[in-house]
Amino acid sequence: MEIRIGIANTGRELSFDTNESAEAVKKAIATALDSAATHVVLADSKGNSYIVPTSGLAYVEIGSEESRRVGFVA
């Protein structure tokens, strides 16, 4: 699933694929924001970790968990 995070005052966004479920990502971000944590840690499918400051979050876009079909659609 693809995650896209917009960071305030930055022209680019952070985009990566993760193996975590959409609910797990939503819960991690919501917990960090509700508890006034200074950052949230997310991991991608390659094993890299991203530490994102919660004060700079502009938006978080969570892609669908549905896999893409390969081939022609009639």
On whether the CB atoms of residues 32 and 57 are closer than 8 A, the answer is no
Give the predicted TM-score (pTM) of the model: 0.77
Is pLDDT larger for residue 69 or for residue 39?
39
**Domain segments of the chain: what residues?**
2-62
Q: What is the pLDDT of residue 15?
A: 94
Instruction: For residue 10, name the pLDDT band (cuts at 50, 70, 90).
Output: confident
Binned at pLDDT 50, 70 and 90, residue 67 comes out as low
d(CA 58, CA 45): 23
Place of tokens 């960090």: 32
Look up residue 49 and give its amino acid: S
pLDDT tens-place string over residues 21-65: 999 999 999 999 999 999 999 999 999 999 999 998 999 999 876
